Structures are given as structure tokens and as C-alpha cells.
Structure 1
Amino acid sequence: MSMELTEDELLQKIKQQALLENLICIDDFIEIYQGKEIMNMKVEEKKNHIKKFIDNKIYPLLQSGEPYQDFSVKDYGDLSREGSDYNPGSYEIQKKYLIKENVRVEFITNVNEFLNKFYSKYRNEALQKVILLKDELESNKKISEFNKREEIKITEDDVYTELQSNLKYIYYRGHDSMNYSLLPSIYREKYIKYENEMYFELISRRPDSFVNSNKHIDILRKMQHYGMATRLLDITSNPLIGLFFAVSINRELDGELTIFKLESKHLKNNNSDTVEILSALATQSFEKKKEIVKVAREYADKILEITGTAENDLTDALIKDFNEVRCIKLLLHEIRQTVGDFDGIINPSHLFNCLFVRTLQDNDRIIRQDGLFVITGLPSEEKDDLYQEGIKKKIEEFRLKADVDYGMESNNTITRYIVPAVNKYQIQVDLSLMGVNERYVYPELESVAKYIKNEYSKK
């Protein structure tokens, strides 16, 4: 796990990650990248080592101005008191966090407390909406002897139905380290440069496994299931499943539950043409993707200039011309290799989409995990690194914004839900009591056997 970076190399890594994530745990960074150096340190010695690094490296960085002038160093106590109306715990946590001013932190230390607090806001919103609807119905009633005797009542079913509607487009992802980049695996470790090679090699080595996969999204889903790096990001509609993944792997690092909130237009089904187009990007070489970015950006900008005018014929003509460009024709040809009757016309702006995909519930793991995916398209800008920063920004747009109740602008401020390492074990125990454990989340025989063996090893 440790990469044994020097302090200057570690600082450079933190600088890059801070701009990408806006919040990192300094202690965990040092634990990961200088693990061997601090492994045998006593608690006080380790604490002094981290303090020295912050004093000598982090504070001078913050004083250097752009682009770090909006960051500050805060500890657990500082963050847990800001905008929090419950006591997160009586113990002292020594960890230090580098945080940007537009980020607000909620610490999850107890499953029930988190759920009660998180859902109470949406229940109150649902109740208020039902009350307003009742008032509107009352004011619009015809005045008659019958209606005078009639009273429109608010029921729990009414509120619950509205609550379900409010929560319909909220999704979750848990990961064991809050320093984890919220990116599909293909964008980590430069895999993006070899995406098409990895894609076709796996199919060529195990063609029998993909015989019944009729679409590129189905192929990607299967690859994701077996651990291949893809442009898909697993998410869930169940917060307990999200918490499970935040606490069940590494108990030394602070975990995170990422919460997404989206509009219905961003949620697609497995048979969506746009989803298939984005999935087929996996078949294109690194250089071909860069070519597609360039030409798609050019046409998308032209279309944007005339959007909203009466020149709809011109818009249609531009889209038609775009689909005649060679790299786009090749992409359409690839789609038709699996979807023979695909007759779609690609809108250049759709190639830059980031979509949430409600896929087929065709295996026990997806069913148990209430699983769906985020699929990422191309970055909006043409860059050599193709495209970590641009893709990250697209995904971040869906992260749940902070409540205006805390005096923050909801369109600028995000909430990060952090699970302190010291709380992970208890949360994992509580989730298991609720039926969410490895045996449930991974229903395959091998996983269940591993779970049972681990349970008996504790005896």
C-alpha cells in the first residue's frame, strides 16, 4: 500500500489531490504514502511527525496564494462543531484535514443518528408539500352543502408517498478512504490510455463469457463485475449498502459515504441510445478519443450558438454533418457491431454527458446491492491526460449540495459525509445486525463461505 514518497513528493501528491477533491485527510495521506517510515513510531512520535510536516510543508503552501488560498487545516473537533447539532462523540480524534472553504463536513458516527438526521429534512419537506396541496384543494373546493361537511385530511400515506418521491433520485456510494478519487477505475493509473486494448483483450480471451451480451453497456457491466477497469462507477439506491462499503475494508483510514442528487433527465435505462453511445467509447483508441473530443467540441459549440433560435434546420444540418465525420462514423459502426438495428444519430453534446444508468437486475449481487452505475463520456476540454480532472468535475456536479440552513449557498457548497476510522467497526456491527454484511452483499458461494470462515475464526 505504501509508496514511500519523500516529503516533497508527498506534498506534490497532496497539492494535486487537494485541487481535485477539495478535502483530504492529511494523516491518512501520510499513512498511505509513508507507511514504512512511520509504522514503528509510537503514538506521540507519529503525532509530532505529522505536525512537523503540516508546519513545514502545508502551512507554507496555504500562504503561497493561488490556487490554495481558500484552503485551511482543521482538526476533527473544528469540523464536527461547524454546522452540527449533535455530539459526534466524546473521544478525541487527532487527525487533521485540508479543506476548501466551500466544503462542509458531516461525520457519520452512528447509523441510526445519521439516517434520522438525513431523512428528517426530506420528511419535513414532504409534509410541507402535502400541507400546501391540502390548502390548495381546500381553497378550490366548490361551495356546497356536501363540501362544507367534507374535510381533506393529511395521512401518513400521503406524506410517505411524497417522501418516496423526494428520495427517488438520491443515490449513494461508499468507499473505505475519504482520499479516494470519485472516478471510474479506467481513469486511475493511466488505464484510460489502454481502455480499448483491455476491452478487446478480455473479450478475445473469454469470448464465451460475452456471448449473451447484446450491448456495449452489458459488456462493460460484466467486465466491471469481474474487476476489470471500466468507465463505470458503481453506486446504490440503498444508503446502508453505501455505508457497508465505507466501513468494511480498511479500518485505519477515514471512509466516506458520497451522496448524489440528480434530476430525472440524468437517469437512464439500460436500453438508452445515449448510454450505448457512451459505452461504445470504450472500444475507441486513446488517440481516436482525443480526435472525437476535438470534433465534438467544435460542433457542440456551433450548435450552442444557434440553440433557442428559429434556425432548427441549421441545427439538424450540423448534427447530420457531424455524423459524417470519419471518427464518428467509425463509432457508429462499432455500435452496430453489437446493436445491429441501431440507427441513432449522435448529438455531439451527448458525448460529454455523465449519466446514471438503471441497468438490468440480472444477477444476485446487483439485486442485493440495489446497484446501478454512473457512466462517463468524454471530457469537455481536450487535454493530454484525457481526462481525470474534467471527468471528476462532471461527477461532482451531482454530489449533494449543503443545506442553506447552515448559512451556505446550496449551489456552491457541498457536504462531505465522512466516517471516522474509529467508528468503522461499530457501524459494521450495526449494519450486520440490520442484515447488511458480506454474506448478504456478496451472495456468491465463494463469498458466503469466506464470510462464514471469518465469523468462526473470531470464536
Structure 2
Amino acid sequence: MESIEEINSLSDYILAVKELHSYLKDGDHELYFRGQKQRYLKEIRLTRENEEEKIESILPSLFRKETLLNHENKLYEDFLMRAPNLFAQCNNNFERLALMQHHQLPTRLLDLTANPLIALYFACDASDNDGVIYPFSNNLNFKIFKENLEFKGKQNVLSDFRCIEKDGFAFPERRISINKTAFSDEIELESTIVRLSFEDKISILTELSRFFACRSEQLEKNPKSESWNSLYYRSRSEGSLDNIYEYRLSFKENTALSHLYHMVANDVGIFKQELNPIEMYLPKIIKAREIDRRIKNQKGLFLFVPFVGDINYTRQDGAWANYYGDKIWAAQNSINSLRLFNNNGKLISFTIPKDKKTDILTELEEIGIDRTFIYPDDYSILSKQIEEKY
């Protein structure tokens, strides 16, 4: 269910944005925005229902074609090889990925902004259709988030995500944050998975799915087991994660994971060679270093869509790759779990009527938000050339 409000002027929008703050649960939660020139509907086929379903798509460009999703590592490597000087100021794989995204290469990053006026500009960018703005926050919508686990038959693991705070969105023991920086070990790991060969990527995601299957079985037998986050950090403090059965079974001697750690070490040097499966499952909002003027001017942030829909695993059937429609559904569900919702649980969005766009753009230009401010540089032609190869 959605709560849709129509915006007819800049002043309408400013008042609407002010009201959004009343839906934030506490001082730790923040607002982010995404503006699109129109709403997009995508028809997908879900294997669990064996039927077609239309979803409202806010997907990153990587997910818009199956061939792009299957060649994620090649997209990255091609751009890196053909424009190496562009990345001279980048310190890690995430910063390279973010720069590629800003120059329109298809990635699993979704552009957000901390400046609501930037989102309004993008929503008004073309006048053929009504525009749309989606507010986001770092307040996880647990009701939507759990649907991905239920879809994969791992609903028992929900207890590992339950909180000890009243609002239902903090994590037990040591809090796992939705917000990350570009220098986080967790983000470096996940950004480097993007670069892995298809075989290594599938191997790691298979073990990730196996972990959740084993964890789900254990929690079904003993629902009062110690929470994963508590168990994970306690074992770390004691010097070894090998004492945890589910972790040892899935990650102890995985060759692809060794390749991943090696690639990260080559990129950033010393880091903690550990992978927290619970962290891997969460969507994340990442603030990038301002490595070019475009990111700085647009107050850019990124929603990193996790690798949640690629592989499923059960002890009875082993591992199998999900179909494209299932992957799309899981990715969109992860994105929706960070959309802002009102007190009735409805997801919030704003519609910009197409006949109001020109007037609003004029108002924005009067306060300095125009195309030359939004796009101070441009490598989009190279990105388009690489995209067309796949």
C-alpha cells in the first residue's frame, strides 16, 4: 500500500518534506530521496507462484536486463580497463563502483541524495510523464524485509534480526548499522564480490544461502538460541569463528572466499578477513567520499542492493540459481525495506504532474539548481558503449 501526495510547486514540496520528519522514529534516523522522471512498472514471472506479476520498479540499472546482471564483473572490468585515469583518486573498489555509477554504467547501486531539491530536479527532468519522488530512511521496514526470508523459506532466521529496542529496528548486542562509509570492511567485501568471476561469486552466494538454511534449522529446533549477532561477536572476541557450527560449515574452507579476501587485501591492504552473513543480507546506505564534483553537487549517496536473490539452498535439494524474475523481486523488496513509511505503514511517494514540471524547474533554477550544477562533468558516452556490448 502507498500514500501518494501530489506536488504542484516548490513551496508544496518544501512543506511536504518538512512533514516527513514526523515519521522518523528517533534522532538516529535520517531522510534520503530519489527522484525519477516517471514511475516504472516491470512485469516479472515468479517461480514460487508460476505466474506473472507487475511491480513498481525502483531498481538499479544492473537489474533491468538479465544479461547485464549475468555480466556484472565484466562491466566493471571493462570500464576500469578503458578509462583507468578516471579512477586515479579512488582508494578502493567501492569508490570505483560509485564513480562508474555516476557515469551511468549499470551497477547494483541506486542513486540517492541527501538534498531533497536534487531529487525534485530529477523528477522534473522530462515532461512526457508525471514524475515521482521516493523518500528513504535508514529505518528498516521489518515487515517488508522479512518477506525475502519467507520467500526463501528461512523465516526462522527472523529472530536473528529482532531487536531489543521498542521501535523494532535496532539489532541485539552490537547494533548492525544500515549506514556505512566507503571505507567499511563490509562494504569493501561486498563491492569486491562484484568483481569476482561468475563461478566464485556463485560459490560464495551458495555458501551464504547454505548458512541461512543451517541457521534456520537450528532456530527451528531451539528458538531460544543465542542471537547470531551476539554469538558472532562473542566468538570473535574469543579469537575464532570456527567454534560456530553454521559458520564453520559454510565458510571455513571456501576457495572462492579465499580469492575474495586476496582481492580485498590487494586493494586496501590490511583488513578483517571475516564475513558476517547477517550483514550481507541487509541493504545499506553508503556515503561516498566526494571524489568528483558531480557527487559533491548532488549530495550523492548510494543504496547498495545486497546479493539476496541469486541462490537458494535447502538440505533436501541442495543449491539452485533463482530465475531472473525471482532475483528482481528480491532486489526490489530489499530496496522497499528502506523506503519511508507513514504511521499507517504505507510507503510514501510524491507525484509531480507533467504539466507542472517546467514551472518547478524554473523555480529550482532561480535558487541555483540547474543542469550545469547537476552535471559538472560527463563520461556517459563511454558507459553507454560498454553497456551495449552486453
TM-score (norm 1): 0.60
Structure 2 residue corresponding to 1:282, chosen from 182, 194, 202:
194
Tell me if 1:384 matches 2:384: no
Q: Unpaired segments of 5 or more residues in structure 1?
A: 1-101, 130-161, 448-459
For residue 381 of structure 1, report the CA deviation from its aligned partner. Answer: 5.9
**Correspondence 1:428 to 2:289:** no
Q: For residue 443 of structure 1, report the CA deviation from its aligned partner.
A: 2.8
Name the structure where helix makes up a greater proportion of residues: 1
Which whole-Å deviations, capped at 9, do the CAs of 1:178-212 have from their partners, x for residues lacking one?
Answer: 12621111111221111111211222223333344
In the alignment, which of 374, 383, 387 is matched to residue 441 of structure 1?
374
> Which of 98, 107, 123 lines up with 1:221 in the alignment?
98
Contact in 1 for aligned 2:31/2:138 (Cα 8 Å): yes
Residue among 64, 67, 74 paired with 1:188: 64
Q: Distance in 2 between matches of 1:224 and 1:446?
A: 10
Distance, in Å, in 2 between the alignment partners of 1:197 and 1:121 is: 40
Whether the 8 Å contact between 2:124 and 2:131 is mirrored in structure 1 is yes
Say if 2:185 and 2:272, in contact at 8 Å, map to a contact too.
Answer: no
Give me the whole-angstrom Cα distance separating, in 2, the residues matched to 1:446 and 1:373: 19
When residues 343 and 431 of structure 1 are mapped into structure 2, their CA distance, relative to the original with a 3 A threshold, is: same
**Equivalent in the alignment of 2:333:** 393
Question: Measured at CA, do residues 307 and 296 of structure 1 come closer, stay the same or move farther in structure 2, by a change above 3 Å?
Answer: farther
C-alpha change, 1:111 and 1:295, in structure 2 (3 Å) is same
Match in the other structure for 1:269: 181
Q: Could you tell me whether the CA contact under 8 Å between 2:92 and 2:267 is conserved in 1? A: yes
Is 1:175–2:115 an aligned residue pair?
A: no
Please state how far the C-alpha of 1:270 moved relative to its aligned partner: 1.3
Q: Is the 8 A contact 1:246 1:257 kept in 2?
A: yes
Q: Which residues in structure 2 correspond to 1:33-44 (within 5 Å)?
A: none
> For 1:353 and 1:320, how far apart are their aligned partners in 2?
21
- 1:319 paired to 2:247: yes
For residue 344 of structure 1, give the secondary structure of its aligned residue in structure 2.
coil
Structure 2: which 5+ residue stretches go unaligned? 42-56, 140-175, 220-224, 236-241, 312-321, 381-390
List per-residue Cα deviations over 1:158-187 (Å, max 9, x = no partner). xxxx9xx47x61000101111262111111
Aligned residue for 1:137? none
Q: Contact 2:123–2:133 (CA<8 Å) still a contact in 1?
A: yes
Describe the shift of the 1:195–1:444 C-alpha distance in structure 2 as closer, same or farther (beyond 3 A): closer
Distance 2:378 2:106 in 1: 24
Cα distance, 1:217 vs structure 2: 0.2
Matching residue of 2:265: 336
What SS is found at the alignment partner of 2:356?
Answer: helix
Q: 1:446 to 1:302 in 2, by over 3 A?
A: closer
Which residue identity lines up with residue 438 of structure 1 in the other structure?
R
Name the larger-Rg structure: 1
CA contact (8 A) 2:61 2:106 kept: yes
2:71 is paired with a residue whose SS is helix
Tell me if structure 1 keeps the 8 A contact 2:89–2:291.
Answer: no
Name the amino acid aligned to 1:384: Y
CA 1:243/1:334 → structure 2, altered by over 3 Å: closer, same or farther? same
1:327 and 1:446 map into 2 onto residues whose CA distance is 33
Describe the SS at the equivalent of 2:330: helix
Shift of 1:436: 0.9
Is the partner of 2:285 in helix, strand or coil? strand
Q: What count of residue pairs does the alignment treat as equivalent?
A: 300
Q: CA deviation at 1:338?
A: 0.9
Q: Alpha carbons of 1:384 and 1:108: their partners in 2 closer, same or farther (altered >3 Å)?
A: same
For the aligned residues, what is the CA RMSD? 2.9
* Secondary structure of the corresponding residue to residue 229 of structure 1: coil
Greater relative contact order (Cα 8 A, min sep 6): structure 1 or 2? Answer: 2
Deviation at 1:261, TM superposition (A): 1.5
Helix, strand or coil at the partner of 2:350:
strand
Secondary structure, aligned partner of 1:417:
strand
